Structure 1
Amino acid sequence: MADASEIHSLSAGAPLTDEQLLASYAVADRSVPWLRANFVSSIDGAATHEGVSGGLGTDSDGRVFGLLRRLADVIVVGAGTVRQEGYRNLALDAESAEWRTSQGLAAQPPFAIVTASLRLEPGDLGSYATRPLVVTTESAPAESRKRIEEVADVIIAGDAAVDTVEMKHLLAERGLVQQHSEGGPTLFATMIAQGVVDELCLTVSPRLEGGSARRIVDAADATPQNMSLAHALSAPDGTLLLRYLRAAR
């Protein structure tokens, strides 16, 4: 019986090793600011099962998810996703931390939590493996900002709404150049609209979800952006792992 986390290229061949997968997702020039988004979707377009994206995950998706975190300088996530998906006390495993240090990276990438309102609990932020970053706005409540600054580094990007162009620039200035975004759909919509998405890694889970689940993008207005397929991988259970790059302008 095939390993449920086994991954192949669509042209078949031997299962890909972790090192082969890391090489296939690596960005050629790590010095150039790069924002990668990572999502999972059912084949009928649902981004969640029973309200969380984790409900659509497969073993192969989880494997790639972990490897993408290995490659990141920073993990970017919206505060709504932190609350909904239960992001708490997150740390890469020992194998991943060892791999990162062997590549000259910090053992643990920090999390950058995006919130215009600063509706976060300082106690939750204090449980991360490394001091987190909080990306917010100039107009966020001053008292909330003061409380958050006790446990996190606060980055101001935008006035009333978070400016993801400024966020990408400010993170890169801190040496956090390879930016890995894990949602959610509203933050991703803003990133698309503001033109900062360089890459989308999309897992297509082999199931029909039905219902009224959200898509991976939640926006009122369309903001089209052409992408090109960099690779397509598959798993024995029918999971597709797609990597798209920003198309040449």
Structure 2
Amino acid sequence: MSEHLELQRLADLSDEELAEVYAPPAEPWFRVNFVSTADGAAQGSDGVTKSINNAPDKRVFDALRARADCLVVGAGTLRAEAYKVPRLPLVVVSRSAGVPPTLGDAPRGRILMATVASAGGLAAAREQLGEENVLVLGEDEVDLVELRTTLAERGWAEQLCEGGPALFADLLAAGVVDELCWTVVPTLTGGEALRMTRGAEVEVALRPVLLLEQDGTLLGRWLVERPD
């Protein structure tokens, strides 16, 4: 990718070209996708992202999912956003091992659980999802480095996370994230809405490598700078 950041019009890119500009530079690759308002709110007044999503964001959202081999999402976000069963494997990250209700009817193998040995819902998750689809990655805290490795060993090289903010902060603290895909919608909301990160304190340098624009919405790729 070019060292010079260039603004491009999203509308000028075909679907094939859009997929190409989001190609990862290495494998395995762990990217996180978020949308926020211009003043940093990662949710609307209704407490979910749907009220700040728009058409440009949806196009890139769909393109990233089309590229991905698997989707990683925290259980709280899955419940709050009422996720439906996606077309690609969905990895639920949960210390309690509770399967969100909207995913209860998923075909066997479509939903995986990344959890811990002390999880109260471990036995129920194994029965519902199948033991081979329940990843026990730690005693009391999910080992996120091991999660990335385990998913890559399953052949899932492009790993896409859609949050939420607490999981994103934990992933950054663990050094798992390679890239942030960030949409900024041209809206201000004020108030005390969640930011993209919450919880773990992190200081992570980012390098912008792509910036797209459509109707005032900015959509960028930011690579995590690794310390030497």
Q: Deviations over 1:21-71 (max 9, x none)?
A: 111001134xx2211000001001100011101211110100000000011
Name the residue aligned to 1:37: 32
Name the residue aligned to 1:87: 83
CA contact (8 A) 2:116 2:141 kept: yes
Q: Could you tell me how far 1:74 is from its partner in structure 2?
A: 0.5
Distance change >3 Å, CA 24–CA 160, structure 1 → 2 = same
CA contact (8 A) 1:113 1:133 kept: yes
Equivalent of 2:98, from 119, 127, 130?
119
Aligned residue for 1:242, secondary structure, equals strand
Q: Letter of the aligned partner of 1:111 in structure 2?
A: L
Q: Letter of the aligned partner of 1:134 in structure 2?
A: M
Name the residue aligned to 2:138: 158
Decide which moves more: 174-183 or 151-160: 151-160
Q: Could you tell me how far 1:116 is from its partner in structure 2?
A: 0.7
Identity value in percent: 40
Gaps of 5+ in 1: 1-8, 92-108
Q: Letter of the aligned partner of 1:86 in structure 2?
A: A
Name the residue aligned to 1:171: 151
Name the residue aligned to 1:245: 223
Name the residue aligned to 2:195: 215
Give the 5 Å matches for 1:1-249: 10=7, 15-29=12-26, 32-49=27-44, 50-91=46-87, 109-121=88-100, 124-127=103-106, 131-141=110-120, 142-150=122-130, 153-219=133-199, 221-236=200-215, 238-249=216-227
Aligned residues: 220
Q: Letter of the aligned partner of 2:32 in structure 1?
A: A
CA contact (8 A) 2:212 2:219 kept: yes
Distance change >3 Å, CA 85–CA 152, structure 1 → 2 = farther
The Cα RMSD (Å) is 2.1
Query: Which whole-Å CA distance do the structure 2 matches of 1:226 and 1:121 have between them?
Result: 34
Q: Deviations over 1:218-246 (max 9, x none)?
A: 11x4211111001111002x100011012
Q: Deviations over 1:178-202 (max 9, x none)?
A: 1000010111111011110100000
Q: Could you tell me how far 1:128 is from its partner in structure 2?
A: 5.5
The alignment's TM-score, normalised by the length of structure 1, stands at 0.82
CA contact (8 A) 1:46 1:215 kept: yes
Q: Deviations over 1:205-230 (max 9, x none)?
A: 110011111001111x4211111001
Gaps of 5+ in 2: 1-5
Q: Deviations over 1:62-120 (max 9, x none)?
A: 000000001111010111111010112333xxxxxxxxxxxxxxxxx211111110122
The alignment's TM-score, normalised by the length of structure 2, stands at 0.89
